[in-house]
Chains A and B, each alone.
Chain A
């Protein structure tokens, strides 16, 4: 199985986050890592301190992916904390429980406004799953 990976895709005004992973749980974790990179504006950072637990539910894969990323945005912006090391404790198509260690930031990283549904589809590939989320920046 391929290692999970992400890359940023060009868009005239926003940023596309393309993610692939072997399972849906890993896809969610990898999407969060991509989002963290953006929020840190690629600055190097190491996880420190205590862990935080996340639990997000939604009605299908796409809405769970969007809700999960928006929950991370919310925590980052209001709690000045960005998750870096993400451990998926439990994941289904409609629910994720995860534990994360991250980094405290001085300024609220609100460069990304939201994860959107635009053209979003979690698709099965030969190696697992892939999705492209357009982030409003």
Chain B
């Protein structure tokens, strides 16, 4: 039986469905959803498709409006959405990036095996939880204000390298070297700075976490070797973003654009899609502020790395070194040159909201060390389930503007998740699997429980089979610190 949605659709291949541009009269381009049959059923279960179709109406959109296999309804754009707008005459939209600007993931690799950690996990997690504050609004040890804050916003990880909290190798292995040059701290409001004060080096709440994991399986030994990964190895995955500072930057600019859209002659089906021409004063102001917030997020993950390294050194001595494998954003808008990528524009503003950049081996933005394999792509699973390391492909440039999924993707509301299982039950189940959990509250545990999410193995199989990224390794959690 053909699945019923309000839009006509066609399956292009086992991993891809298309909604034609004729499906609604205001669409400018078709919409494409990377899903197998099971995930397609999920996608039509909420407002994901309607939101994607809304995105396809935005001025200057080029190619397709994409949804990744982990997509679910958001506000304005779907989460797991990718849209590119021509830099010349298209728009930039704060809602297309989201409130958590440069939410992203970074992976640290140790030289320690599972056996060496197994019996020290409890005290190690306690020390880590102390060094890396988590939970809503919990303040960190670093107090950046005034000029320090300006430097973080302007230079991100480059500033942290200056003050001894990042190595040159860390910078090489961070997207954009952890420092967007287009950042304009002057466009970040005092309110945003107030919300960000004291939050550098903290994880925050929601689905953000720091996990100690074990490399459980290697799919591609050559790529794994290049990334410095091997079976049984202890690694650390950090998932967080720009905290209150980014939230306020988005809030400020959604409002600013809401007021000027009419003047720019833009009319959209949802006010949260608020946008302005990229070349306009408002568009450029947001771009500068967003890049600054993104630098704050890179610096945040770097500060957490610094604290984690100190704990590992105290616990394991000289054996406790941690190498940065990669750090990549999944909530960003970037000015990219895709002239070789089959789009009609060349210079485009790619919005990835809950989607990870996945550049292939030949892309100049892929770090030197990974040029034989592609840019590492880090996909965190939900709490207590597997995470994945993949590498980007050159084909992804034509297929999804060089983008792939960003996680398992929620399948159930927070309320529904809490009805299925109480937090104490979730904690017990995780502990039964040998996972040590450090979490502020039981409510948060229930809301983020594995059953509230889609199956990450299935999601990753779709992007692998669709050629958006290639599987390198599967990681399983040993210890979780959650907000």
Identify the A interface with B (CB < 8 A): 8, 10-15, 41, 59, 62-63, 66-67, 70, 74, 77-78, 107-111, 113-114, 116-120, 134, 136-137
Contacts and interface: CB of A to CB of B under 8 A. Distances in A.
25 contacts: A11-B46, A11-B73, A12-B46, A12-B73, A14-B75, A63-B258, A63-B259, A74-B194, A77-B244, A78-B194, A78-B244, A107-B137, A108-B136, A108-B138, A108-B139, A110-B204, A113-B247, A114-B250, A114-B251, A116-B76, A118-B271, A118-B272, A134-B272, A136-B75, A136-B99
Interface residues of A: mostly helix, strand, loop or mixed? loop
Contacts of B79: 13
B100 interface: yes
Interface of B: 46, 72-76, 79, 95, 98-100, 135-139, 191, 194-195, 197, 204-206, 243-244, 247-248, 250-251, 254-255, 258-259, 270-272, 274, 410-416, 441, 443
A10 B410 CA distance: 13
Nearest to A39: B136
B270 A74 contact: no
Nearest to B100: A113
B65 to A, nearest CB: 17
Contact of B244 (A10, A66, A110, A117): A110
A134 B75 contact: yes
Contacts, number: 105
A120 B254 CA distance: 14
Nearest to B411: A12
A108 B199 CA distance: 11
A15 B75 contact: no
Nearest to B75: A118
A63 B274 CA distance: 12
Contacts of A134: 75, 272
B206 A111 contact: yes
Interface residues of B: mostly helix, strand, loop or mixed? mixed
B136 A116 contact: no
B99 A74 contact: no
A79 B195 CA distance: 10
Closest 5 CB pairs of A and B: A108-B137, A118-B75, A117-B271, A110-B137, A118-B272
Given A117-B254, A118-B74, A118-B75, 4 more contacts: A12-B73, A107-B137, A118-B271, A119-B270
A77 B255 contact: no
Contacts of A14: 74-75
B72 A114 contact: no
A120 B271 contact: yes
Contacts of B95: 116
A70 B255 CA distance: 11
A116 B255 contact: no
A9 to B, nearest CB: 9
Contact of B441 (A10, A41, A118): A41
Contacts of B191: 74
Nearest to B271: A117
A76 to B, nearest CB: 9
Contacts of A108: 136-139, 244
Nearest to B77: A118
B424 to A, nearest CB: 16
Contacts of A136: 75, 98-99, 247
A116 B272 contact: yes
A29 B274 CA distance: 26
A46 to B, nearest CB: 21
B187 to A, nearest CB: 18
A5 B95 CA distance: 29
Nearest to B135: A107
Contact of A74 (B46, B72, B98, B248): B248
A21 to B, nearest CB: 21
